[in-house]
Each structure stands twice: as structure tokens, then as C-alpha cells.
Amino acid sequence: MTDPMTALGERTGRCQCGDIAYEATGAPDDPHLCSCPHETRISGGPAVLWVGFRKDGFSWTGPGGEPRWYSSWPTLRRGFCARCGTHLISVADDSEMIMLTGFSLDDQRGIEPVGHSFREQAVPWMAITLAPDPDLP
Ligand SMILES: [Zn+2]
Ligand SMILES: [Zn+2]
């Protein structure tokens, strides 16, 4: 059986209305939750699930082309569907990776958070069981 975390497959995802869709290839990297103040406000939820893919294996495939960009930090831009508002991606200027919102993926098999950024700022009622970090022995 192939381990979905390391399989070099292709993953697809989309916004709620389908205008913005994407394809990502290669192994998913560093799936994690983030409860930073930007993302809890943007998502309206207690955390966002992120998963990384290489920039060079990523493309936009939907009829709407690229998302609408918004910079929440000088070096970080986030992509949203201009029609339905779904938050799909965050791109840091100096990184070879892009981060996709885990729940915009069509198939989330094998994607479980191994970390939780800004955990100390998460709401106290949020309980999380993290997957074991594959990089640790
Ligand atoms: Zn949409
Ligand atoms: Zn964050």
C-alpha cells in the first residue's frame, strides 16, 4: 500500500463555488494547524489547517484563473475566491513552497496535522490530537 503522505501523486482542490480550482503535485509537506489572530478572523474558526506543496508543481485550473490576492503581511499574500470568499492559499515571497488550506483539497486522505502554530493563542476549549511528527524518530 502506498503511504498517501509520501506518494508523488497529484492533488486537486477548489473553492466552494468552483470558480477557482488548483492542482498540486508532489508530497504534501508539514500539515499543521494555525490559530494566529489573522487566520482565526479570516476563517471565522478556531484554527486553519495548512498543508505545503512545492511552488513549481502547483497550478490554477479553474474557470476563474487566479484567486484574488490580499497581503496580510508585507511578505505574505493570501488567495481567496472573489466570488464565494473561500480562502485557498498563502504564499510567502521567499519560499519554494505554497501553503494550501487543507479543507479546500478534494481528497484529504493522509493529511493530519503534525503541529499547531499559535497554540498558546488558541481558544482554551479547543482540544487537538496531533499526528506523530514523521521527522522525529
Ligand atoms: Zn468560489
Ligand atoms: Zn496563522
Percent of the chain with pLDDT over 70: 93
Residue 27 · residue 7 · CB < 8 Å? yes
Measure 13 CA to ligand 1 centroid, in angstroms: 11
Q: What is the pLDDT of residues 89-98, one digit of tens each?
A: 999 999 999 9
Give the three cell numbers for residue 108.
Answer: 484529504
Cα 86 to averaged position of ligand 1 atoms, centre (Å): 6
* pLDDT (0 to 100) of residue 9: 74
pLDDT at 4 over 70: no
Ranges of each domain in the chain: 10-105
* Contact between 82 and 66 (Cβ < 8 Å): no
Q: Ligand 1 mean position to 101 CA, how many Å?
A: 14
Q: How far is the CA of 125 from the centre of ligand 1 (A)?
A: 31
Query: Taking 60 as the threshold, does the pLDDT of residue 7 lie above it?
Result: no
CA 118–ligand 2 middle distance (angstroms): 7
Q: How far is the CA of 26 from the centre of ligand 2 (A)?
A: 23
Ligand 2 centroid vs 122 CA: distance in angstroms? Answer: 11
- State residue 8's pLDDT score: 58
- Closest ligand to the CA of 40: 2
**For the segment 21-70, what is each residue's pLDDT rounded down to a tens digit?**
999 999 899 999 999 999 999 999 999 999 999 999 999 999 999 999 99
Architecture of the domain spanning 10-105: Beta Complex (2.170)
Confidence of residue 1 (pLDDT cuts 50, 70, 90): very low
Environment class of residue 132 by beta-carbon count within 10 Å: exposed (0-12), middle (13-18) or buried (19+)? Answer: exposed
Q: Alpha-carbon distance 108 to 49, whole Å?
A: 11
Against a cut of 0.85, is the pTM above it? yes
